[in-house]
């Protein structure tokens, strides 16, 4: 294999063959292709893109650089959800036990927050004792025993992606649809899934700032997953305002309220919509209406909450231990008006600035920090009406209050609220 020749082909916009790409990734995983050649290849992909066939090969090779889970003795559909991340996106927490309560197996490998969007593992770690470092054997045993798990990746899962992602991070080569597709799917497909649903968000609080960008990523991920034998669909969803609460312990509390049937909000609407995709894909129901009923029943009956309790206990967590939330401050509207826009990303950064997230990987997180978005785009508000509950220290609040005020704009004219679910993309 001649890495320089492959890089030159990509740079000149020529198709790289299946065999060449496979050799490049295998060589990289084996330490035979140096970082500088891989970085040059990634940069060539940024400018030239990839054909779907190339993205399929890249994904397959990165998946197969590590262990791919097998489930020969499991008589349940093996499913998962991936979200491209957003402010207050805690859907994995209620959805995973709901799916398990509906009879599905969910071996969810999740990530940490870096940048303005929070990470599922960080949220779960606000539950005292909760382990997110299960081995593959522990993960598989837990899925067989109770039907669901949410844990971190291991060194055995898609090691070529771990190397390449770290390299992309420092060479400005993250934002490429084929590279993102291969990176996300190599890890998800290593779970040995049958069905996958993707929540591809667009807006001020996520990676993809326009619907067109979100659609391009969704089409790519659905196409590649389908070509690699996993039935996939995607929902393009709104992330122009936070999805309820934002922060670690507070998002766990909101998830518990959802599982106890104590809230009625966008978070539950979206959770049920994503669950519906999986129940239909796995042919556990004949219609969307049946799926919605089954998922709602899993909450109403208490079965989903019971699964959550089992999952937490199996991973060493103690739900009865207190999860402190910091002191409440209330951000109020400074005039009458209509909520026009909110810079959701700025709200995510404010949580980080107050200590509720990381600026660098080594930072400690204060799980008690957070905020609650109390209004919606399009709502009419009066002067002094609370817009945000902010949970932090007095000095933290003083530091972020100007940014929070700046992040929310009020209009004198009516504003059309954005649609929560914009589009569905299927394979």
For ligand URA, which is the closer residue by CB, 42 or 102?
42
The active-site residue out of 90, 162, 187, 307 is 187
Say how many C-beta atoms besides its own lie within 10 A of residue 335's C-beta: 10
* Contact set with ligand URA (CB under 6 A): 165, 174, 179-180, 183-184
User: Is 15 annotated as catalytic?
Assistant: no
Closest approach, Cβ 160 to ligand URA, in A, equals: 12
Closest approach, Cβ 174 to ligand URA, in A, equals: 6
Residue nearest to ligand URA (CB): 183
> Please, what's the b/e burial string for 360-399 (b: 16 or more CB within 10 A of its CB; e: otherwise)?
eeeeebbbbbbbbbebebeeebeeeeebbbbbbbeebbee
- In sign, the C-alpha dihedral spanning 373, 374, 378, 381 is negative
User: Is 168 annotated as catalytic?
Assistant: yes
For ligand URA, which is the closer residue by CB, 174 or 265?
174
User: Is 183 annotated as catalytic?
Assistant: yes
For ligand URA, which is the closer residue by CB, 159 or 396?
159
The active-site residue out of 83, 183, 233, 298 is 183
> Is 221 in contact with 236 (CB distance < 8 Å)?
no
> Is 388 in contact with 374 (CB distance < 8 Å)?
yes
For ligand URA, which is the closer residue by CB, 184 or 279?
184
User: Is 81 annotated as catalytic?
Assistant: no
Distance CA 125, CA 315 (A): 11
User: Is 383 annotated as catalytic?
Assistant: no
The active-site residue out of 161, 195, 238, 343 is 161
Distance CA 427, CA 415 (A): 34
The active-site residue out of 90, 112, 168, 201 is 168
Say how many C-beta atoms besides its own lie within 10 A of residue 98's C-beta: 30
Distance CA 272, CA 264 (A): 12
Distance CA 193, CA 190 (A): 8
Distance CA 380, CA 259 (A): 30
The active-site residue out of 48, 60, 63, 82 is 82
For ligand URA, which is the closer residue by CB, 97 or 107?
107
Closest approach, Cβ 152 to ligand URA, in A, equals: 12
Residues tagged active-site: 82, 161, 168, 183, 187
């Amino acid at each position: 294999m001649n890495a320089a020749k492959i890089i030159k082909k990509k740079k000149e916009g020529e198709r790289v063959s299946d065999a060449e790409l496979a050799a490049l990734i295998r060589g990289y995983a084996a330490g035979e292709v140096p970082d500088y050649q891989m970085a040059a290849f990634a940069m060539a992909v940024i400018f030239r893109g990839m054909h779907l066939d190339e993205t399929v090969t890249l994904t397959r090779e990165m998946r197969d650089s590590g262990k791919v889970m097998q489930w020969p003795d499991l008589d349940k559909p093996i499913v998962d959800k991936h979200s491209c991340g957003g402010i207050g996106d805690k859907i994995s927490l209620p959805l995973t036990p709901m799916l398990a309560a509906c009879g599905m197996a969910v071996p969810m490998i999740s990530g940490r927050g870096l940048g303005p969007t929070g990470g599922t593992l960080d949220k779960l770690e606000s539950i005292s004792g909760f382990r997110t470092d299960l081995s593959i054997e522990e993960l598989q045993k837990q899925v067989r025993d109770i039907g669901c798990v949410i844990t971190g990746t291991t060194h055995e899962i898609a090691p070529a992606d771990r190397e390449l992602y770290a390299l992309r991070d420092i060479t400005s080569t993250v934002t490429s649809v084929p590279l993102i597709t291969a990176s996300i799917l190599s890890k998800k497909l290593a779970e040995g899934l049958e069905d996958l649903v993707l929540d591809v968000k667009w807006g001020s609080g996520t990676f993809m700032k326009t619907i067109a960008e979100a659609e391009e990523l969704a089409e790519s991920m659905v196409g590649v997953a389908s070509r690699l034998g996993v039935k996939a669909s995607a929902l393009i969803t709104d992330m122009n305002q936070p999805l309820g609460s934002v922060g670690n312990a507070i998002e766990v509390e909101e998830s518990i309220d959802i599982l106890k049937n104590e809230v009625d909000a966008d978070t539950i609407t979206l959770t049920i919509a994503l669950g519906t995709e999986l129940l239909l894909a796995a042919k556990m129901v004949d219609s969307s209406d049946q799926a919605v009923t089954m998922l709602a029943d899993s909450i109403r009956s208490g079965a989903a909450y019971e699964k959550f309790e089992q999952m937490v206990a199996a991973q060493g967590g103690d739900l009865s231990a207190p999860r402190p939330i910091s002191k409440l401050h209330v951000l109020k509207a400074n005039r009458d008006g209509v909520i026009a826009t909110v810079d959701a990303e700025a709200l995510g950064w404010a949580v980080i600035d107050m200590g509720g997230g990381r600026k660098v990987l080594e930072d400690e997180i204060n799980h008690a920090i957070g905020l609650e978005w109390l209004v919606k785009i399009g709502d009419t508000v009066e002067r002094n009406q609370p817009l945000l509950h902010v949970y932090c220290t007095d000095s933290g609040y003083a530091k972020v209050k100007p940014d929070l005020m700046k992040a929310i704009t009020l209009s004198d004219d009516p504003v059309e609220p954005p649609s929560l679910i914009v589009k569905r993309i299927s394979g």
